[in-house]
Structure 1
Amino acid sequence: MSDEIRDELPDDLNPAGFVGAYMFPDNSRRRWPGVIYLVLAALCVLVRLGFADSPIVNDGWYFAAGILVFAGVFSITSGWRMTVDEKEALVKAQQAVGFAVGHASAQQVWRGFRSRPTWRVLCYSAEEPPKDRGLVLVDALDGSIVEQLVEANPD
């Protein structure tokens, strides 16, 4: 049926039209929502204080302000500025595993309560088929190796 509605990706998410290197967004973007949460918390307190006689406004506004303050502070303190990009993480991972890397991929992940950005790098040795593989966690703030695992490739 030609009138059938089908899902499709928007143009900006369609990988077929993508040209160039992908730039991972910086985690410091989390700070802006944190500021917005704090402004909304202040507005909640002002509404509660300004309309104390209203039957609609009660102490729930303070409760909402408290939740917004918590979310705002968490967003601001977890908005780390990344100094290590995925290319640098791949180089550090190759140095950590101790073998010449053929295929490798980097994925941005977060660890800890404050969501510290970390690169998870999976790499295979350069032989065909690869003899070794490694998984390396590289801190995206200072480039230190958080963890590493190297083993023979079972495939």
Structure 2
Amino acid sequence: MTTDDQIDELPDDLNPAGFVGAYLFPDNSRRRWPGVMYLGFAAIIAAVYFLANDAAVVNAGWLVAAVVLAAVGLFSISSGWRMTVDEKEALVAAQGAVGFAVGHASAQQVWRGLRSRPTWRVLCYSAEEPPAQRGLVLVDAVDGRILEHLVEINDEADLESAAG
């Protein structure tokens, strides 16, 4: 095969043209399982340190590794929030928060705070063409509360009408 014959292409599982159905965002509660595994490894490493500390290969590094793994495990478990609000429900909640009829909108999953609480960041535009308003709404993915929202005049609409 020559260099002229080589083409860049996506693998079948990443090709959006072959995608069928709605995308399901993974639930953050999946973080709990690795957390439990980290705690298990931390317990094993700590047991080796305390039971075989006279061995040549066992030193204080084993105890440090056990403490770090335990801390990471506790963080993984504590940040494993169960999401009860999906992106469609977040879009509906955002429409209620901005106070105008929403045309185009998109939702992005983000995390807030030290314990990584899942949050939907929803960007929405009013239904006029071009949109006169835009809004940014943060919706808690655990309980559906509106955390923050901002509504403003869409300056891009002024630029489009001036250019066209």
The interval holding the TM-score normalised by the smaller chain is over 0.9
Match of 1:154 in 2: 155
Distance 1:49 1:107 in 2: 46
Equivalent position amino acid for 1:89 in 2: A
Which residue in the other structure is 1:102 paired with? Answer: 103
**1:8-58 deviation per Cα after TM superposition (whole angstroms, max 9, x unaligned):** 443322212111110000000000110110011011012213322211111
Give the aligned length.
154
Aligned AA for 1:95? G
Name the larger-Rg structure. Answer: 2
Normalising by structure 2, we get a TM-score of 0.89
Residue segments in structure 2 that go unaligned for 5+ positions in a row:
157-164
Question: What SS is found at the alignment partner of 2:124?
Answer: strand
Q: Which runs of 4+ in 1 moved over 6 A?
A: none
Aligned twin of 2:134: 133
Bigger mean CA deviation after superposition, 85-94 or 12-21: 12-21
The answer to whether 1:14 aligns with 2:20 is: no
Corresponding residue of 1:35: 36
- The two structures, once aligned, show a CA RMSD in angstroms of 1.3
CA deviation string 1:116-143 (max 9, x = no partner): 0000000000000000000000000111
Give the TM-score of the pair, scaled to structure 1.
0.94
Unaligned runs of 5+ residues in structure 1 are: none
What SS is found at the alignment partner of 1:109? Answer: strand
Identical counterparts, % of pairs: 73
SS at match of 2:21: coil
